[in-house]
Each structure stands twice: as structure tokens, then as C-alpha cells.
Amino acid sequence: MGPRADLFKITELFERGLLKSVVDKVCDLKDAQEAHRYL
């Protein structure tokens, strides 16, 4: 993970509507280990 200041900046951008999340893949819970590697 990056610096704490980056987290606050990203949060601010989300709150202002300037940054949006994109979900490109959905995994079953049984595949959590593989999903974590995917990230």
C-alpha cells in the first residue's frame, strides 16, 4: 500500500465525483486467493 496521504487524496477524489471505481472481474469467495493475486 502507498502512503497514508495518498489514501486521503483518493478518498477526496471519490467524494468529489472525480474518481470512479471500475469492477472488471467478480470472483467466488472460494477463489479468494486467486482473486488476491489478480489484484
> Domain segments of the chain: what residues?
4-38
Q: Do residues 10 and 19 make contact, with C-beta atoms less than 8 angstroms apart?
A: yes
pLDDT value at residue 1: 62
Q: What pLDDT digit, counting tens, does each position of 1-37 carry? A: 679 999 999 999 999 999 999 999 999 999 999 999 9
**38 phi and psi, to 5 degrees?**
-60, -35
Distances in Å between the Cα of 3 and the Cα atoms of 12, 27, 39 are 15, 28, 18
DSSP state of 4: H
* Residue position matching grid coordinates 477524489: 13
pLDDT value at residue 2: 78
The answer to whether the predicted template modeling score (pTM) of the entire model surpasses 0.75 is no
- d(CA 37, CA 29) in angstroms, rounded, equals 14
pLDDT value at residue 7: 94
